[in-house]
Amino acid sequence: GDPKTQKTEALIRAMGRFIQSLNGEYRTGEDVGTTLDDMEVLYQETEHVITLPEYCGGAGNIGPATALGVQQAMKACAQEVWGSDSLKGRTIALQGLGAVGWPALEGLVKEGATVIVADIDTAKVERARRELGVAAAPPAEIHAQPCDIYGPYALGAVINDRTIPELRCRIVCGSANNQLAEERHGTLLEERGILYAPDYIANAGGTIFDTDRMQKGGFNRERAWRNVARIRDRMTELIAMSKREKVPIWLAADRLAEQRLQMARHLRMI
């Protein structure tokens, strides 16, 4: 449904009670269509909430942390493709100017990138053009812009049978969840010579930042930012693993995640 017209406190609370019934098997957090205020309401029904306002013990707005993590992943990809991690002078087609897309835009412009933006909210696009001097493209055409990097920062499944032949980039890297409509689309990207940064590697910054509060001594902002920046190292490691094992990078990401989970299970058993 439309969160602007159909979201109510009663529905949010009902969702919270359902999440609580799963006994920790599932945790939720702020995403498209929700706000930190919504997370505060959820928190009244379940403790299994990742993103919370600072006055509730959380880290507050995690959008900038997610944006920084994606930018670090971009830099790792740039190093692999062009031999330099600098994004200065690179053209980036950025799709979505929401809670992550906007701080991402600011960070990329600050680094000297040339950014083309798109969003279904024309007011956001006009603000970006006015305040940051960027160019804009229609939302349905942003993926097909001639660019160095295509950054999906909105909804998922944007890498699919229709869009892949139209891509004119060397790297796909953004914050949107589930960017590949199907896993095979990751393989198709590789066959076209396009380096893909798996979404759950690139966009982990917000979760890393927020869950720092679970460490001993509570939330440490400086430590949290340092750990977000390490996404670049993870992406570099992933690229090397993909080349070493001769598998598509999406599959290497799945294997890396499985290895980390197995390691965590082993540590719990010690």
Q: Report the mean per-residue pLDDT for the chain.
A: 95
| Under 8 Å between Cβ of 197 and 73 | yes
Q: What is the pTM of this model?
A: 0.90
CATH class of 62-270: alpha beta
Over residues 226-254, mean pLDDT: 97
Over residues 45-60, mean pLDDT: 87
State pLDDT tens for residues 147-161.
999 999 999 999 999
Give the residue range(s) of CATH 3.40.50.720 domains in the chain.
Answer: 62-270
Give the residue range(s) of CATH 3.40.50.10860 domains in the chain.
Answer: 1-58
Just give the CATH number of 1-58: 3.40.50.10860
